[in-house]
Amino acid sequence: MTLIKSISGIRGTIGGAVGHNLTPIDAVTFAAAYGTWIKEQRNKENYRVVVGRDARISGEMIQALVMQTLVGMGIHVIDLGLSTTPTVEIAVPMEHADGGIILTASHNPKQWNALKLLNAKGEFLNAEEGERILEIASGNSINFAEVDHLGKITRNDAYIDLHIDEVLKLKTVNTDDIKKAKFKVVVDGVNSTGGIAIPLLLERLGVEAVKLYCDPTGHFPHNPEPLKEHLTDLSQAVINHKADFGIVVDPDVDRLAFIDENGDMFGEEYTLVACADYVLGITPGNTVSNMSSTRALKDITEKHGGSYQASAVGEVNVVALMKQTNAVIGGEGNGGIIYPELHYGRDALVGVALFLSLLAEKQLSVSALKQSYPQYYMSKNKIELTEGLDVDGILEAIAEQYKTEDISTIDGVKINFENSWVHLRKSNTEPIIRIYTEAPSQQQADDLAEQIIAKIKAVANI
């Protein structure tokens, strides 16, 4: 059982001991620290925070604890109930709120939950802000409101529909052509809130949706990370229903992956590549992804006359570099689309709308679309960390072994070879080292990963 406190928020497994798991006491402490931080930002009479959750079994309990803690601090709460991460992000500025909290552990299994924290723009907190909340949580500076100044909770169930309205207002979303194309798709909502939001969006776009695991019970029917090995049911359903393609999202609907008409993975790395290809064809400009993402985005961006930059891993880092470079689209290779015309956050709903617009424009099958892009193959691996392991020392030793290559240490160690690369980094959310490799063939990517893993084990003596 685990509790991870970081600048990204607090994430842990439900049950167990205080300080070692995500218990009610830990949820209250962290919510109170966030409420204190909110009050530090502006001295005003009324504070408002938007709160929503994915469909995890523990979500209702954790949300009640968080909301009532904020009420106890004199902060008014807008309760979105079952929602998505991008929906909460959009709701914060629309409500003129001071911040937002999403109760979700993203792709982690059902025993996990977390508090994702937003600022008044509906964007994730930066490292400095996250550190301040950790500092408050570990101290004794939290003050609650007196009885006449308690906050109130207001329920608002309209925001998924409002989110869809905002997506459909975008000039780049070609609703008419999508409706004419008469697409048929299968949606795997992993029994979370994507099973609510994605079919509603597709209905508005005139797309026939076959629902698979769209009942938001929180009982995930498979590992909720949208990877090939977890999506055999979706692949088979696409074939059985003779669908044009399949859509899968993670539990909080900020990651998006597609299955082609043959039941094969389009590749979560290529979600951003395809959406960027479409957007850049209409509004040429720059792009950003994190340095664990495919080189194909760089190739597509340069083909459209733009410039590509790579950021450290983490949505907040991608967003910061997007703003700095005026990127027209960006995101992460895990299927996260960030489209600033809508908002600065990963958003599967806008990703679906842009992808459908691209297919309607090109009139290609999903498999043919994939073949039209530069072909790269990735291998994503991880090594579990044991207590007392000097991870920084291990990464430094690997960097030293490859010092004659093009190396970046902005975030862990990335080694760029002529036709391939490897990126090693500590996870912010799990006790692991991630090892990502990319090469012109799957065998080359796998071989490079095995080579690096062997070197790590030799250095670490494990």
Can you give the residue ranges of every domain in the chain?
3-157, 162-371, 377-460
Q: b/e string for 176-198 if b means 16 or more Cβ within 10 A?
A: eebeebebbbbbbbbbbbbbbbb
Q: Quote the CA–CA distance of 40 and 179 in Å, as a whole number.
A: 48
Q: Is 134 exposed, middle or buried (0-12, 13-18, 19+ CB in 10 A)?
A: middle
What's the chain's length in residues?
462
Q: Quote the CA–CA distance of 249 and 202 in Å, as a whole number.
A: 14
CB 457: neighbour CB atoms within 10 A? 12
Q: Quote the CA–CA distance of 435 and 125 in Å, as a whole number.
A: 26
> Strand, coil or helix: what is 231?
coil
In the CATH scheme, what is the code of domain 3-157? 3.40.120.10
Q: Are 220 and 59 in contact (CB under 8 A)?
A: no
pTM given for the model: 0.93
> Strand, coil or helix: what is 378?
strand
Q: Are 255 and 198 in contact (CB under 8 A)?
A: no
Domains 3-157 and 377-460 share a fold: no
Extract the tokens encoding 91.
């709701």
Which CATH code of 3.40.120.10, 3.30.1280.10, 3.90.550.10, 3.40.50.11540 fits the domain covering 162-371? 3.40.120.10
List, by residue number, the catalytic residues. 106
**Tens digit of pLDDT per residue, the chain (462 long)?**
578 887 778 999 999 999 999 999 999 999 999 999 999 999 999 999 999 999 999 999 999 999 999 999 999 999 999 999 999 999 999 999 999 999 999 999 999 999 999 999 999 999 999 999 999 999 888 999 999 999 999 999 999 999 999 999 999 999 999 999 999 999 999 999 999 999 999 999 999 999 999 999 999 999 998 888 999 999 999 999 999 999 999 999 999 999 999 999 999 999 999 999 999 999 999 999 999 999 999 999 999 999 999 999 889 999 999 999 999 999 999 899 999 999 999 999 999 999 999 999 999 999 999 999 999 999 989 988 777 778 888 899 999 999 999 999 999 999 999 889 999 998 766 668 899 999 999 999 999 999 999 998 888 776
In the CATH scheme, what is the code of domain 377-460? 3.30.310.50
